[in-house]
Chain A
Amino acid sequence: MSQQSIKVGDSPAVQYLLRLADSCLVLSQRLGEWCGHGPILEEDLALTNMALDLIGQARGLLTRVCELDGQGHDEDQLAFLRDERQYLNPVLMELPNGPARPGDFAFTVLRNFAVSSWLLLMWERLQSSSDAEVAAIAAKAVKEASYQQQHSADWVVRLGDGSDESKARMNAALSQLWPYFNELFVDDAVDAAAVASGLGPAWSELKPAWAAAIDEILSEAVLPQPKPSAFVSNGRCGVHSEHMGHMLAEMQYLQRAYPGGAW
């Protein structure tokens, strides 16, 4: 690596926004892996459209993080020059799409549904953030998330209540993903500070509405919910799965090899 890594500060506002920004960034990278490999051309475009929406949301937030962090970094440096432990996305976002490239479509749409339902609730709340820039990003993102949620929910129902094979694949995807949903609703001091300053909600506050959305679509899809899991991943404190490093190696390669490269 020919480029020094950077670190962001540990102020609660920076950490809070980075958790969300990295969620968008990392899921976007995973969805980008479908580019040119979608099950049909039309859905290939739909998946990469969603990836681009997420990139746009991540860019807005990362730019705001740079301002709050005050070290003179820009969004690209933040996206590409941090080490693994400095990424604060929940582990759910970084899980590979499937055992082999480009991935399992059932797993992909189910994660998209879970995450876009979560993001929709998050953006709705952030529209009234005390940080005017975050509120503006949220006002735009809420429309994008609404569409993503509807589109992915339709897939979950279609495949869950579909053929024997699609049902089996959705059930398998659900049991793989289920334990990783827990992390979306854990609170810590960063959340408490965000609530106190009016920056945004504690993540746990989103759980009832999220669970209701999941319940509704899973019942419509005739997919039984797995038993509650006690496992809680901790990506939002920088502790990632074994997949994160591999993903970052690919994601960061260009910026590391050609610092500041642009086109």
Chain B
Amino acid sequence: MSDNKTNAPSAEWPLWEVFVRSKAGLDHKHCGSLHAADPKMAIQLARDVYTRRQEGVSVWVVPSSQIVASDPGEKAMLFDPMEDKVYRHPSFYQLPESVNHM
């Protein structure tokens, strides 16, 4: 944005991942990321950026550097073997009639 000369703050501030719980009882869902100087600022800005339209009742922020991610290069090894294992889905059972809402 304007006035980015030498010390562009967005280039210096660490990145945070933002998780928002939309209502009590539900889980926090990842909804994006933002830059902030410290945890307190990250929470405030998460509130300002991601809950402007009543999206949440609780916010978590996590330093992005703390996220350990799987390697995209290992995608085939990690995930493809599951393709032909349909028996892992619970779709071969007859449900009793009294169980209506599964």
Contact = CB atoms under 8 A, between A and B. Distances in A.
Q: Do A and B bind each other?
A: yes
Interface of A: 36-46, 49, 102, 147, 150-151, 154, 158
Contacts of A45: 45, 48-49, 52
A37 B44 CA distance: 19
Contacts of A44: 1
Nearest to B4: A39
B74 interface: no
Contact of B35 (A40, A46, A154): A40
Contact of A36 (B1, B13, B34, B37): B1
- For chain B, which range describes its interface: under 10, 10 to 19, 20 to 34, or 35 or more residues? 10 to 19
A43 B1 CA distance: 11
Contacts of A147: 47
A40 B48 contact: no
A44 B41 CA distance: 14
A37 B1 CA distance: 6
A42 B1 contact: no
A154 B2 contact: no
A38 B44 contact: no
B82 to A, nearest CB: 38
Given A42-B34, A42-B49, A151-B44, 9 more contacts: A38-B1, A39-B1, A39-B3, A40-B13, A41-B1, A41-B49, A49-B52, A150-B44, A151-B48
Contacts of B1: 36-41, 44
A158 B44 contact: no
Contact of A37 (B2, B13, B36, B41): B2
Interface in B34-72: 34-37, 40-41, 44-45, 47-49, 52
B54 to A, nearest CB: 13
Nearest to A150: B44
Nearest to A101: B2
Max count, chain A CB within 10 A of own CB: residue among B9, B35, B41: B41
Interface string B1-25: 1110000011001000000000000
A42 B52 contact: no
Contacts of B9: 39-40
B36 A42 contact: yes
A40 B45 CA distance: 11
A49 to B, nearest CB: 5
7 contacts: A40-B10, A45-B49, A46-B45, A49-B48, A151-B44, A154-B40, A158-B37
A43 B2 contact: no
B36 A102 contact: no
A158 B47 CA distance: 19
Contacts of A46: 44-45, 48
Q: Which of B9, B13, B44 gathers the greatest number of chain A CB atoms within 10 Å?
A: B44
